[in-house]
């Protein structure tokens, strides 16, 4: 459980310190008061990434040279970011990024997660790669190697004097990593689907189901040979983990096409709840929920269903513009931190 959070020069915060002695924490206030920033900071302490910013230096408060983030939980986490460097430490011991990520386990829902349904294939691939990399170090290693061989293969394809013998060598190395990545992704999807059966029932929605969509046949070597002429013509690799996708279905209908905006929201929440259960069972560790504006646009029945998951969580942080959106069952058990002015 997270016990405290300290922010220095983090977005709007020059100095910010929050102490948590409760498993349910609600941040209430108007927009632009720093509610989402707090969740972003906790997410950063888990993943070394922001859920809404690719360049972490953009998190540094305007006019300042660095930011510092400190989270006290079972371990103490610290991140320092400047234009020159980034440092990550656990219990005052410096860590490489791959050693730091995933030590603190969180699952976050934010309104931007609707891009899992509405967004491009890249969004869904990033979801798979990030979550699997946080849980499995060997996946992160294979993904890094895959990207290296993919880059090398694409450079070869751009060469007018293509060395096909060396291309075969690089392609075989790429295929080895692709097999590993594919197996992990499909297993992950299948297990999420298993949790989604129960979650769909409890949220009182039609069955939510994910389907992996690959760009190659089971015979990978044959697939790459069949696409070679196209690859040479386009000077890029047209099949592989970097082109795969997954589709989201609601009662066997493609959610991108048929789901309403309200249904899309509850689908994304359900996927994050399934992810929470997956991480909890795989790592045998409790998972912290970060819920940004989660109750907006939900009807009372679904709010009641979601409330049960939140109350039963090890720890949950919730943002809202009004506590009147939050069910009494949560309010009674939570601490409410009011943020009614710009920080």
Q: Is residue 76 part of a domain?
A: yes
- Which residue among 284, 308, 329 closes a domain? 284
Say yes or no: 292 and 272 in one domain.
Answer: no
Q: Find, among 171, 170, 146, 155, the residue nearest to 244 by Cα.
A: 146
Same domain for 261 and 160: yes
Q: Where in the sequence is the domain holding 23, given as residue range(s)?
A: 1-105+288-343
Query: CATH code at 296?
Result: 3.40.50.300
pLDDT of 28 higher than 70: yes
Mean of the pLDDT values across residues 91-119? 95
Domain co-membership, 63 together with 147? no
Q: What is the CATH number of the domain that holds 167?
A: 1.20.1050.90
Average pLDDT of every residue of the chain: 95
> Which of 284, 304, 325 finishes a domain?
284
Q: Cα dist. 43→192, 200, 332 in Å?
A: 21, 26, 26
Report the alpha-carbon distance of residue 142 to residue 165 in Å, rounded: 23
State whether 263 and 327 are in the same domain: no
Residue 341: what pLDDT? 59
pLDDT at 299: 85
Contacts 24+ apart (CB under 8 A), 220-225: 220/175, 220/178, 220/179, 221/172, 221/175, 224/171, 224/175
Q: Is residue 111 part of a domain?
A: no
pLDDT, mean of residues 182-193? 98
Residue at 19 is within a domain: yes
SS3 state of residue 48: coil
The H-or-E segment that residue 179 falls in is helix 164-202
Whether the predicted pLDDT of 342 surpasses 60: no
Number of domains in the chain: 2
Check whether residue 142 and residue 268 sit in a common domain: yes
Decide which of 234, 255, 284 is a domain's last residue.
284
pLDDT tens track for 237-261: 999 999 999 999 999 999 999 999 9
136 and 95 fall within a common domain? no
Q: What does the pLDDT average to over 25-49? A: 95
- Verify that 15 and 146 share a domain, yes or no: no
Confidence of residue 297 (pLDDT cuts 50, 70, 90): confident
* 64 located within any domain: yes
Q: Are 226 and 321 found together in one domain?
A: no
Q: Based on the fold, state whether residues 135 and 96 are members of the same structural domain.
A: no
Verify that 96 and 3 share a domain, yes or no.
yes
In this model, does residue 183 exceed pLDDT 60? Answer: yes
Q: Could you tell me the CA-to-CA distances from 198 to 34, 208, 277 in Å, in that order?
A: 35, 10, 11
253 lies in the same domain as 312: no
Mean predicted confidence (pLDDT) in 220-240: 98
Residue 57 to residue 85: CA distance in whole angstroms: 9
- Domain-located, residue 121: yes
Can you give the pLDDT at residue 300?
A: 85
In-domain check, residue 296: yes
pLDDT greater than 80 at residue 160: yes
DSSP 266-324: HHHHHHHHHHHHHHHHHHT---EEEEESTTTT--HHHHHHHHHHHHTSSEEEEEES-GG
């Amino acid at each position: 459980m997270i016990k405290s959070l300290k922010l220095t020069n983090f977005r709007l915060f020059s100095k910010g310190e929050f102490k948590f002695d409760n498993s349910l924490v609600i941040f209430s206030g108007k927009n632009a008061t720093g509610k989402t920033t707090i969740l972003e900071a906790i997410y950063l302490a888990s993943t070394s990434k922001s859920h809404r910013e690719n360049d972490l230096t953009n998190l540094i408060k305007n006019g300042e040279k660095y930011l510092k983030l400190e989270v006290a939980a079972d371990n103490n986490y610290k991140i320092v970011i400047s234009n020159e460097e980034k440092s990550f430490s656990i219990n005052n011991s410096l860590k490489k990024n791959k050693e730091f990520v995933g030590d603190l386990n969180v699952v976050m829902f934010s309104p931007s997660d609707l891009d899992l349904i509405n967004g491009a294939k890249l969004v869904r691939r990033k979801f798979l790669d990030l979550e699997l990399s946080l849980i499995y170090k060997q996946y992160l290693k294979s993904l890094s190697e895959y990207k290296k061989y993919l880059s090398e293969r694409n450079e070869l394809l751009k060469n007018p004097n293509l060395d096909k013998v060396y291309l075969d060598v690089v392609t075989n190395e790429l295929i080895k990593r692709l097999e590993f990545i594919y197996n992990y992704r499909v297993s992950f999807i299948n297990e999420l689907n298993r949790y989604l059966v129960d979650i769909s029932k409890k949220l009182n929605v039609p069955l939510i189901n994910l389907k992996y969509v690959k760009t190659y046949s089971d015979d990978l070597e044959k697939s790459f040979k069949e696409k070679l002429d196209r690859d040479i013509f386009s000077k890029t690799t047209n099949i592989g983990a970097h082109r795969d996708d997954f589709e989201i279905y609601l009662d066997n209908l493609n959610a991108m096409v048929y789901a309403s905006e309200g249904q899309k929201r509850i689908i994304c929440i359900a996927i994050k709840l399934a992810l929470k259960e997956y991480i909890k069972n795989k790592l045998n560790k409790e998972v912290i929920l970060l819920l940004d504006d989660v109750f907006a646009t939900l009807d009372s029945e679904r709010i009641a269903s979601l409330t049960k998951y939140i109350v039963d969580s090890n720890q949950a942080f919730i943002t809202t513009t009004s506590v009147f959106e939050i069910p009494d069952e949560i309010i009674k058990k939570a601490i409410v931190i009011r943020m009614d002015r710009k920080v």
